[in-house]
Amino acid sequence: MLNAEDVTFGGSGLERAAHHREDPAKLDALRTSGKAIVLWRGKPLFDFETKEIMRLDPTHAVLSEAVSEPIFIGIEEDGTAIFAHDISPWKDPMIDDAALANFFDPSQNRYPGFPETQVFTELRGIMAKLTPRDAELAATARGIFEWHRIHGFCAKCGEKSAPEMAGWQRDCPSCGAHHFPRTDPVVIVLATKGNSVLMGRSPGWPDGMFSLLAGFMEPGETMEAAARREVFEESGIRLGKVRYLSSQPWPFPASLMIGCAAEAENTEITIDPKEIEDARWFTREEVFAATHGENPALKPARKGSIAHFLIHNWLSDTLD
């Protein structure tokens, strides 16, 4: 797929400069002259006026809210180093913490003293507005901070581990084990039959929302085998040849979405209600109308998701 990396979070060519991660003196120098991006409970600090992820000076007062060392993200083309800071311990007095447990948190959280346009906001809500560079920075920072949040103990002996290598590793002081950020591969399948595409929905989704079928790969499984298994398990549709299209890092919390296409060998749908709530064939015309808000029975996939990207390219005949 010629435009495979145009997908949101598809990368911007950021120099991650991994060789600096084990050099504390170099990191200190980079941090002093670099810029900071800030996240609060997974939500990046974003300026709705400039439509940019905020880059702050390393001495900015808000960074004092962080209780852990920043993560070295990489170096931009002008030589500016970017470090990510997590200020999740800060309490926003204007929001009920229960709202943050929702699948999508619509609240916008303003740190005292910041302009009205500069807020911590849900990454899913702004991902389609971001430049490729800002998308890569935000996705990387969110994914790494989430990994630290839920992997604080050694998986080998159970001892509390500690961040190392500028945040890209956790080491166990007891058994000496090293732990690294994880990525869970997920296949997402553009399954077609003639002029129609197969889509399904999970329980609890908004009325009319459908997306491409997807599922986690299993150990010992190829991408192609996972695509065939997941689609058959969820819908009863068997796939023929499966081909790779594009991939997308998906930091919710730590997946790599592997987009592929396949032609279905049958059309009769038999869903597994434990997996999905519904699955249907939608014609190209029905999906096209939905993308323009002209099909009340079908809501398009969220802009910025790989499902939206693959469907858009299918409609545009630009998969190859």
pLDDT given at position 96: 65
Q: Are residues 161 and 115 in the same domain?
A: no
Domain enclosing residue 241, as ranges: 184-315
pLDDT tops 60 at residue 269 = yes
Q: Is 53 helix (H, G, I), strand (E, B) or coil?
A: strand
Give the phi and the psi of residue 309 in degrees, each rounded to 5.
Answer: -60, -45
Are 162 and 218 contained in the same domain?
no
Ranking 59-68, 90-99, 301-310 by mean pLDDT, the lowest is: 90-99
- What's the angle, vertex CA 132, arms to CA 245 and CA 68, rounded to 5? 110
pLDDT digits (tens, 9 = 90+) for 18-41: 999 999 999 999 999 999 999 999
For position 97, what pLDDT does the model report? 63
Poorest-confidence range of 94-103, 228-237, 264-273? 94-103
Does any domain span residue 320? no
d(CA 226, CA 79): 41
pLDDT at position 101 is 54
Inform me whether the pLDDT recorded for 71 exceeds 70.
yes
| Cα–Cα distance measured from residue 210 to residue 215, given in angstroms and rounded to the nearest whole number | 15
Last residue of a domain, one of 138, 162, 181: 181
pLDDT for residue 215 is more than 60: yes
- Residue range 184-213: average pLDDT? 95
Q: For residue 229, what pLDDT is reported?
A: 98
pLDDT grade for 204, boundaries at 50, 70 and 90: confident
What's the token pair of residue 109? 């959280």
Is pLDDT of 262 > 90? Answer: yes
- Backbone phi, psi, residue 235, to 5°: -130, -10
pLDDT in tens, 86-129: 999 999 887 766 555 555 678 899 999 999 999 999 999 999 99
Indicate the number of domains in the chain: 3
Which pLDDT band, with edges at 50, 70 and 90, does 4 fall under? confident
So what's the pLDDT on residue 99?
55
Residues 221 and 302 in one domain: yes
Predicted confidence at residue 95, as pLDDT, reads 74
How far separated are the first and last CA of the chain, in Å rounded? 5
Q: Are residues 51 and 68 in the same domain?
A: yes
Quick one: what percent of the chain has pLDDT higher than 90? 90
278: CATH: 3.90.79.10
Q: Both 129 and 167 in a single domain?
A: no
* Same domain, yes or no: 259 and 209: yes
